[in-house]
A and B are shown apart, each in its own frame.
Chain A
Amino acid sequence: MMKRRQFLEKTSAASLGLAALGSMSFSGWNPKDAIIGHGSHRYKIDLNWGKLNSKQFPVQDCHEMVQDGKGRIILLTNHTKNNVLIYDKSGKLLDSWGTDYPGAHGLTLHDENGTEYLYISDNNRHEVIKTTLDGRVIQVLPFPKESGKYQKKEEYIPTETAIADNGDIYVADGYGAQYITHYDAKGNIKNIFGGRGEDDHLFNNAHGICIDKRDSKKPILLITARQQNKLKRFALDGTYLDSIDLPGAFICRPVIHGNHVYLATIWSGDGSEGTGFISILDENNQLISAPGGSKPVYEQEKLNPMHQTLKIFRHPHDVCVDEDENIYVAQWNSWASYPIKLYRV
């Protein structure tokens, strides 16, 4: 991978004329290809990836994507003709299923002793559904009434799940009462924390959650507070640790790949329509690249407010990063467009 990247960089640095000639025979390289992002994380853009016949395989909002152990890219959309579309990395459709998830929003994949399962957070059904990769329902987690925080299911609008190595399930109620419900693998409630508010340990739009195992001795939770432009860190027992400030970046869910955190950023600046970009944090949780967004600049350890600079993305809602470090971008409310693929250069 590194070798290919270095070669491409050299090609681009060489005389433009030569590079242009070379491009015709070398994987479509063109000196006018846009390269977005900053520093070590820069990308070319393929708008056509995954595009399908919308009559046959329609999408509405493309909410989230994950990659399974076979390398397949699994997309969740709230179109009930096919809630799940399964692609290969080139964008070819391999399979589709799902008609029962009108509020399909969150998609998490968990490897349980060698078998992979999906967890779908459904906004409209007010519940989380565990399925096999081919769509067979294994478990349904209804609204957590016994927690005492909810009177009726409508108060609970789960947006995302995170699954720990021991099978514990964390559900973020990002569009509801903003609690994080912690279950054991069987679905018994062990804990509930968070809730709506402006304090450090509370949330305004607890939209995405993941388990951060970059420090293998001390796994923690990363939870987005999207309206607060913060990524909050919690211990697995729900104790608040600290927050990572990303002013101007309305981050949807954290996705960890290697030592980096990737976050689809649905809006930026003042939160206007169509102002999204992608955020990439390094191992120190510093924003180092923002494809489609402004160059991240820290002054006195504070990030200058972020904003969109290029009109490529409208509303990125999730990213999936593959083993080549290419990024697949699923978008909400973007005229039912299919995902965009970014190729790392």
Chain B
Amino acid sequence: MNVPGLGLHSIGFRWGLPLLFFLFGAVVSCQSKKKVFLLTDSIQLASPKILADSVLFREMATITLHLEEEDALIKYTLDGSGVDADSQTYSGPIQVYHTATVKAKAFHPAYRTSETQAIAVRKQKGNLSGVEAKLHTEPHVNYPGNGAASLVDGQKGSTNFRNGNHWLGFQKNRITTDLRFPERRNVESIIVSVLQDQGSWIFSPETITITVLGNQIGTLDFKESAQAGEKKMLFLEVPVTTGKYKELTITIEPLSEIPDWHQGKGTKPWVFIDEIWAE
């Protein structure tokens, strides 16, 4: 699990080294006070960057992996399995035709292996035409996107949430929106595309509930939302009682407050949503 800046692993790394040097320093200090430089095998590579031309696609996505460090090799998987030294070596852009989880790690002869970086790319199925969203909760004035229409336009935002008009940002106890189809459609699940950027106090929602005329047809509890994690976009899939529906209500509940490990603890987290659709 790659948790830049927030994970216990990183803390151990940063403080473990000085401890190591202290011990080493104590041994040599009886001779003379020498500078002890950081050794290559104490340094971890950063995780590779994973770029997708579109993380939400109808036909195909092209994925590129980057870590511009001399002699570093990037290895990856597309099936969600862990990356190790035997995984495929990256040599150029990868074409993906199906929903996939891309995982990548960097290896180097001198430096320590990186943490895993992962992104999900999703093939968007289902009929998107004529779908309307009606928001019952107004987004924050600073992050209004293009209103409810942004949620059903098939246009995803990027991890840089300030760019474009794709993300709707909320700092509310509950976010409610309706999804209306032009005719009754077969629905098996609702997918809510959200951003996690804890450094900007944006957390993924804790619970998503789908109702039809007040009757619950599906719910998702997302346990990971309170855990420290890297900046990423998530597709939260809520399975529903399969059936033909004309109108659904989606209720999104953020964490009640930012967890204790974060500097914003006790305050209301932000929730950012860019797309909602039915499959």
**Which residues of A are at the interface with B, using a C-beta cutoff of 8 A?**
27-28, 30, 32-34, 44-48, 51, 227, 269-275, 294-295, 297, 304, 307-312, 314, 334-335, 337, 343
Contact = CB atoms under 8 A, between A and B. Distances in A.
A343 B40 CA distance: 15
Contact of A34 (B38, B46, B67, B159): B38
A46 B199 contact: no
Interface in B1-44: 4-6, 10-11, 13-15, 17-18, 21-22, 25, 34-44
A272 B34 contact: no
Interface stretch (B68-76, B142-150, B208-216, B247-255): B68-76
Contacts of B172: none
Contacts of B49: 269, 307
A37 B13 CA distance: 21
B160 A271 contact: yes
A275 B39 contact: no
A311 B34 contact: no
B160 A28 contact: no
A48 B25 contact: yes
B68 A32 contact: no
A339 B68 CA distance: 26
B230 interface: yes
Interface in B40-61: 40-46, 49
B111 interface: yes
Given A271-B231, A314-B5, 19 more contacts: A28-B34, A28-B35, A34-B37, A46-B38, A273-B6, A273-B198, A273-B199, A274-B4, A274-B6, A275-B4, A295-B68, A304-B68, A307-B68, A309-B69, A310-B45, A314-B14, A335-B14, A335-B15, A343-B35
B37 A309 contact: no
A48 B46 contact: no
A121 to B, nearest CB: 22
B66 interface: yes
Nearest to A272: B231
Given A47-B21, A270-B159, A295-B68, A312 B38 contact: yes
Interface string B212-228: 00000000000000000
A168 to B, nearest CB: 34
B38 A44 contact: yes
Nearest to A51: B18
Nearest to A274: B5
A34 B36 CA distance: 11
Nearest to B68: A294
Contact of B43 (A34, A48, A227, A273): A34
Given A274-B10, A309-B67, A45 B159 contact: no
Contacts, number: 113
Contacts of A45: 37-38
B68 to A, nearest CB: 4
Nearest to A308: B46
A123 to B, nearest CB: 16
**Residue with the greatest number of chain A CB neighbours at <10 A, chosen from B37, B67, B162:** B37
A311 B111 CA distance: 10
A275 B160 CA distance: 15
B106 to A, nearest CB: 8
A51 B21 CA distance: 12
A290 to B, nearest CB: 9
A236 B162 CA distance: 31
A245 B186 CA distance: 50
A270 B160 CA distance: 6
Contacts of B70: 295
A297 B38 contact: no
Given A273-B199, A312-B43, A44 B5 contact: no
A32 B36 CA distance: 11
Nearest to A32: B39
Contacts of A307: 46, 49, 66-68
B14 A337 contact: yes
B21 to A, nearest CB: 6
A252 B45 CA distance: 23
A133 B179 CA distance: 64
B37 A275 contact: no
A307 B45 CA distance: 12
Contacts of B159: 270
21 contacts: A28-B34, A32-B40, A33-B38, A34-B38, A34-B39, A34-B43, A45-B37, A46-B36, A46-B37, A47-B17, A48-B21, A270-B158, A274-B6, A274-B10, A275-B4, A294-B68, A294-B69, A308-B46, A309-B68, A335-B11, A343-B37
